[in-house]
Amino acid sequence: MITIEVKNKEFNGDRCGIGFVNGVAKIENITPEQKVFFKQMGYTVSGNPEKKAETKNDKKEGNPEKKAEK
């Protein structure tokens, strides 16, 4: 989970497609461009992106969903 905090703790709105409530946004992933933007604006960016858990079916060679992604 990634947490982004703005200086104005009363800010409720959207920045770069990310919604903030009371100056804080909690998101699973962030693009490199968004991260640069927020840091340039003086926002605090902390945490790590969430990784999608791989299931047993994903690991199987015959999984048609995995083949379709390739």
Q: Residue 66 above 80 pLDDT?
A: no
Structure tokens at 4: 């982004």
Domain encompassing residue 38: 2-50
What is the pLDDT, as a whole number, of residue 5?
96
Does 58 map to a domain?
no
What is the pLDDT, as a whole number, of residue 70?
47
Does 30 map to a domain?
yes
Does 68 map to a domain?
no
Residue range 34-61, pLDDT digits in tens: 999 999 999 999 998 877 655 555 555 5
Averaged pLDDT score across all residues of the chain: 83
Q: Name residue 47's beta-bridge partners.
A: 2
What is the pLDDT, as a whole number, of residue 1?
94
More confident residue, 66 or 14: 14
Structure tokens at 2: 């990634």
Does 6 map to a domain?
yes
Q: How many domains does the chain have?
A: 1
